[in-house]
Amino acid sequence: MNEPTLIIDDDVIFNGVLVRAFTRRGIPARGVTGADAARAVIRDAAPRRVVLDLNLSGTSGLALIPELLAAHPDCRIVVLTGYASIATAVDAIKLGAVQYLAKPVEVDAILAAFAETTQEMEAAIAAEPMSVNRLEWEHIQRVLQAHEGNISATARALQMHRRTLQRKLGKRPSRS
């Protein structure tokens, strides 16, 4: 693989850490911190592997997945996020990402995600039911996505005060 792995994350420090970690493992990597910089890289050379942050300075990293796959249909994309939800995971996979991982994540887990097949990912899904808190988080994320990230419209749809919704969104989701 001659093309470097493309790291797209707006957190400059985390981006640098990933680039160095990949490089130390003998995998060339290039980091960019925004969607526009990523588009420029995609135009110049289509990467075969991409680590993509879900939230790029307030915009969705998911919008880049179709562009990446159009430039290189065999591109393997791993989406990272600090606030994982089933709704965004499903969207990422539907758009063509090979894996969706919650931060904090180890580099070895990212590398393993590039190598995984769809069957291995399906086998890893837990059969345990989600907690009520997690179900609430997932529902809020689906409604938020349906309203294209508009907090006020989402709060109205959920029949909840906007500040209450913002408070709920500010908390980390329950793991189970």
- Residue-wise pLDDT tens digits, 149-169: 888 999 999 999 999 988 888
* Annotation: CATH topology of 5-123: Rossmann fold (3.40.50)
Q: Where are the domains of the chain?
A: 5-123, 132-170
CA dist 97 and 79 (Å) reads 7
Averaged pLDDT for residues 6-11: 91
Q: Is the pLDDT of residue 23 over 60?
A: yes
- Please tell me what DSSP assigns to residue 149: T
Q: Report the length, in residues, of the chain.
A: 176
Please state which CATH class domain 132-170 belongs to: mainly alpha
Gap between the Cα atoms of 157 and 27, Å rounded = 46
- Which residues, listed in sequence order, are joined to residue 80 by a DSSP beta bridge? 53, 101
With a pLDDT cut of 90, the percent of the chain lying above it is 24
- For the chain, percent of residues with pLDDT exceeding 70: 88
Give yes or no for residue 22 having a pLDDT over 50.
yes
Kindly state the average pLDDT of the residues 66-80: 90
Tokens of 32: 């960019």
Amino acid symbol at 170: G
Give the residue ranges of DSSP H helices in 6-131.
12-24, 35-44, 64-71, 86-95, 107-115, 118-124
Banded model confidence at residue 120, pLDDT cuts 50, 70, 90: very low
